[in-house]
Structure 1
Amino acid sequence: MTHSHPYPRPDLQGAATRNTTAVHLLTAFAKSAPALDDMWQHVFAALDDTSALIIEIDQLRTALAATRYQRANLIAAIRATLAARRDGERDPLYYIRDELKAQTHTRGGGR
């Protein structure tokens, strides 16, 4: 089953490159219009935020991917448990316990 993202993923490297280009262009403009120094400071402060935001987005993407992986594994364990119950296995909850143990162990430092 293929899942598509509801929102397109922004190109973070492209955004960083465009931000750097904007800084270079605005630096040239700022030198030619020193009377607007206060305004330039606000613009450059806003552009400086881009790097921190890119790092934050990257970290959030990584965390989201890990959460999605854990969720998929839990769903698989639930399905295995339901099938085991239906098949009359002695301990159908084993699959859920095993996955929960694996996820707890992974968060603690390794699987």
Structure 2
Amino acid sequence: MARKTTTRAKIGFSIAAWAVALLLFFPILYAFLTSLKTEPEAIAGFSLIPSGTLENYVTVQTQRDYFKPFMNSVVLSLGSTIIALIIAIPAAWAMAFSPTKRTKDILMWMLSTKMMPAVAVL
């Protein structure tokens, strides 16, 4: 028999889930808020409310060579994703719709390689 979840339990779970989400989101928020601070404010110590300046973003875009490495990363990621999809989609279709004797072995090998740490692959 399935147990009914009470409203109080649902509210408690929602509060706990939001607390965990905020805890995990805090470093991203802090990094963004620090990017809005001036250099002395960033070095001075912990504060959540910066005076607010976009000077750092202007500096990155005008005085630094930012867009070339960024575009290299975008091209490389999109290119490798497209190549992987070109290879993977027909292979997945073939394994799904025309199974052979070796299909289970191939799927087991693929699953076992997913369990290897990334460092072992390098």
* TM-score category, normalised to shorter length: 0.3 to 0.5
More contact order relative to length (CA 8 Å, sep ≥ 6): 1
Structure that is richer in helix per residue: 1
Superposition TM-score, scaled by structure 2 size:
0.31
